[in-house]
Amino acid sequence: MEHSVLGQLIWCKENELAREVYERDPLIFSKNQREQNQIELNGNLFKYKTAQFEEFSMA
């Protein structure tokens, strides 16, 4: 259980960092790169080719 909680915290931090990068420079994710990596920016949800995750509430 502890391992999965740690994993969730890591994914949350990666979401946060990815959002900050995108907000600073949206062109960093070019159309081709978005399609290639299957990245969707939709609220807190990021879908990658190798992993799917979203921010978790610690409720």
Confidence of residue 4 (pLDDT cuts 50, 70, 90): confident
Give residue-wise pLDDT tens across range 7-53.
Answer: 788 888 888 888 887 778 777 666 656 555 554 554 445 555 444 45
- What pLDDT sits at residue 30? 64
Amino acid at 43: G
Within 1-59, where are the H helices?
Answer: 2-24, 31-37
14 residue type, one letter: E
Q: Residue type for 54, please?
A: E
Distance CA 59, CA 37 (A): 31
| Rounded distance between C-alpha atoms, residue 47 and residue 27, angstroms | 18
Angle at 55 (CA atoms; ends 21, 36), nearest 5 degrees: 55
pLDDT at 8: 81
pLDDT of residue 20: 84
